[in-house]
Amino acid sequence: MGVFMASERLFRVADPNFCGRCGSVLPPPTMAGSNVTCRKCHNKIEVSDFDGLTTTRTIVFNKSSTSTDSAQYQTAGPSLDRVCSSCGNPTMTYKTQQTRSADEGQTVFFSCPKCGNQEIEYS
């Protein structure tokens, strides 16, 4: 773990991808026996200092809702008289978005507030 002084404050850099002196991102090591040189402060770090280090990452996904509560399907936006093809509800909400090139029509996304059924219409 590198420690350095900057503006009379003590900083600790726990990530080996960052310079221990200035905190800049380090370039990747090129070959064994050489040094990694910080492009900002020119601090040299032995490649052997990176031996045995492992990098891990965690991807966290949002939990999907399994509730069938009709309130979860409420969407912001205007509603119109359109019968839901799934449950027969006479009203659906909609939003529009330009998903193709500018000289083509916009895409309309319909959503049923009762059952959550979604329909798309390319106009």
CATH number at 99 reads 2.20.25.10
Mean pLDDT of the region 7-30: 70
Cβ–Cβ < 8 Å for 25, 38: no
Amino acid in position 18 = F
Per the domain annotation, does 93 fall within a domain? Answer: yes
The domain total for the chain is 2
**Mean pLDDT lowest among 37-41, 64-68, 76-80:** 64-68
Domain holding 96, by residue range, is 70-122
Report the predicted TM-score, pTM, of the whole model to 2 decimal places: 0.40
Per the domain annotation, does 64 fall within a domain? Answer: no
Reading the block at residue 60, the tokens are: 């966290």
Q: CA separation (Å) from 36 to 90, 91, 102, 120?
A: 66, 64, 48, 53
Mean pLDDT of the region 10-30: 74
Whether residues 7 and 45 fall in one domain: yes
Whether residues 75 and 116 fall in one domain: yes
Whether residues 45 and 83 fall in one domain: no
The more confident residue out of 3 and 38 is 38
Per the domain annotation, does 85 fall within a domain? Answer: yes
Is the pLDDT at 34 greater than 70? The verdict is yes
